[in-house]
Amino acid sequence: MALERTFSIIKPDATARNLTGKINAKFEEAGLRIVAQKRIQMTKAQAGEFYKVHAERPFYDELCTFMASAPVVVQVLEGDGAIAKNRDVMGATNPADAAPGTIRAEFAQSVGENSVHGSDAPETAAEEIAYFFAGIELVG
């Protein structure tokens, strides 16, 4: 499988509960390498731009308010098949449907406050990485 990079966010519900290290351990145990990482607090406008694909969904305003409500940790994860592998480690969007041992099964509080974001395809991964990181910040 090809070496890939994917974009990840440890969301406000998880940073608020001091779960950054436990979530990073899940990534590393799965063979994902954290090649860039920083803690930031997004504005609601920045969250809105990031999630613009969901602009017509009923939960969009709530989602953007939540993502700007507290600090997040934005990351680039690298590994073989990193995009799909990260989605596996994250688990299903709704923690009630997430497989045992996944991040969302263990840590998520609800479908909205679900602890992590991960890119869903190579195109979105490249776009999302470029939204938060300059090339000089990515060191494998």
Residue numbers annotated as active site:
117
For residue 74, what are its two tokens?
């934005």
Q: Per CB under 6 A, does 115 bind ligand DAT?
A: no
**In the complex with ligand DAT, which residue's Cβ is closer, 75 or 114?**
114
What x/- string results for residues 87 through 106 when contact with ligand DAT is judged by CB under 6 A? Answer: ------x-------------
CA distance 20 to 14: 7
Q: Per CB under 6 A, does 131 bind ligand DAT?
A: no
Please give the size of the binding site for ligand DAT, defined by CB under 6 A.
9
Neighbours of 19 (CB within 10 A): 20
Residues 138, 38: contact at Cβ < 8 Å? no
Q: Which helix (H) or strand (E) holds 116?
A: strand 116-118
CA distance 15 to 73: 8
Using the rule CB under 6 A, which residue among 59, 65, 88, 122 binds ligand DAT? 59
Smallest distance, ligand DAT to C-beta of residue 136, A: 28
The site for ligand DAT (CB under 6 A) is made up of 54, 59, 63, 93, 111-112, 114, 117, 120
